[in-house]
Amino acid sequence: MTRFLSALPADLAGKRALVRVDYNVPLDAGQVADATRIEASLPTLRWLLRRDARPVLLSHLGRPGGRPDPGLSLSPVASALAGLLGTEVRFFAPCDGEGAVRASRALKPGQVLLAENTRFLPGETANDAALARRLARLGDLFVNDAFGTLHRAHASTTGVPALLRPAAAGLLVERELKTLSALAQPRRPFVVAFGGAKIGDKIELLRRFAERADLILVGGALANTFLRAQGVETGASLVEESALDIARSILSAGGDRIRLPTDAMVLVRADGEGKRAESVRSVGVDAIRPGMTALDIGPESRVRYAEALRGCAAFFWNGPMGLFEDPRFAAGTFALAEAGAAATAEGAFTVIGGGDSAAAVRRADLSDRVSHICTGGGAALEYLSSGRLPGLDALIERRRS
């Protein structure tokens, strides 16, 4: 059983709480462009500060490849966190040296220390035991509140909790697990929507939901692979050729519960007089020809998918319906977001599985009109597929030892 904050000792005064957070946020001109993940960590930090603990925070940002990259420094995050938390946030680099240890010990009540990007160190993603020991020196106890990284067996997520006691999950992780666990026995009708590009990332979950869900709506490049598996011409569309047999087996298991697009928004490229012309049109999926690239579900499919959500009791969505970053191919994704919000208003329990689908819901300004938005798409998919996460297993194991 996972240990949560409520199970920590009552007296935390003066204790250095080493907290793994997920501050992998977008930066723009040296400023935090989206503070959603920072805001999600505030309840746990406030909980610790109210008990006079001294929070020391670890996080990664981007993929610097195990070496310092000024463009991926967490320094701007420290400023954003201070403004949101309303307290002094000190910043220190690097995160694993004697200086960081001294800075953690020098923290005064009410102060927070944010250490530099853990992925500036080559041992982080390799779960290096020596690095885990150095990081563990920053705290007297450990809290993992970085749900979006729980599926990674890294030094700061699985190595450190093996060295510090007590080790617990934060309020964000507790909330995410409770929400996702509710989908194990969902209210019915239960509708699931999958988009994005690759089946490989979603194989086990697709197989599980093919048996568990009442209806599965498929969009994005994922739909192209399923259509090709049925023998449909997909033109120049992105198709995961190596996954065609898998797609056929999922279609066979899901039967008529799996809905594929009946039309698509396609990009048509034509060469003429030394120039390449592009046009966008809506076509039935049976009318896709060479030179056409399907990049969104079409208007008929948007209506069908929205109707499928009417009257549902639970809805889970992971992956966009198209290339929504391009306004020409955003309508399908935003239509599904609107349908999800409408279902929520009618009483459905709606969960957005992180990643691009979460970004689309926020861009459509619908964040407060769905039941829950996961802070980590990869972690959510792995937990729903297997019920386990390496970072979570580390906390459970530490409790047993």
Which residue among the candidates 123, 322, 376, 378 is catalytic per the annotation?
378
CA atoms within 13 A on the CB side of 329: 23
Which residue among the candidates 46, 198, 257, 369 is catalytic per the annotation?
198
Which residue among the candidates 355, 376, 377, 391 is catalytic per the annotation?
355
User: Percentage of residues in the chain with pLDDT exceeding 90?
Assistant: 78
Check residue 381 and give its pLDDT.
86
Active site (annotated) includes residue 219? no
- Collapsed DSSP state (helix, strand, coil) of residue 228: helix
Average pLDDT on 50-67 reads 96
Strand 27-28 and strand 141-144: the pairing is unpaired
H helices, E strands: number in the chain:
13, 17
Check residue 211 and give its pLDDT.
81
Average pLDDT on 156-181 reads 94
Which residue among the candidates 15, 16, 37, 228 is catalytic per the annotation?
37
Average pLDDT on 167-182 reads 94
Active site (annotated) includes residue 188? no
Active site (annotated) includes residue 15? no
In 3D space, the residue among 301, 290, 200 whose CA is nearest the CA of residue 237 turns out to be 290
The pTM is what?
0.88
Does the pLDDT value for residue 65 go beyond 90?
yes
The gap between the terminal CA atoms of the chain, to the nearest Å, is: 13
Active site (annotated) includes residue 378? yes
Write out pLDDT tens, residues 343-372: 999 999 999 987 888 989 999 999 999 999
Check residue 272 and give its pLDDT.
52
Does the pLDDT value for residue 282 go beyond 60?
yes
Encoding tokens for residue 149?
A: 């990284």
What does pLDDT average to over the chain? 92
d(CA 30, CA 23) in angstroms, rounded, equals 14
Does the pLDDT value for residue 276 go beyond 80?
no
One-letter amino acid at 299 equals: P
Q: How far is CA 219 from CA 14, 34, 78, 374, in A?
A: 51, 26, 38, 20
Q: What is the DSSP letter of 236?
A: T
Write out pLDDT tens, residues 227-263: 999 999 999 999 999 889 999 999 998 888 999 999 9
Check residue 209 and give its pLDDT.
84
> 9 falls in which pLDDT band (50, 70, 90)?
confident
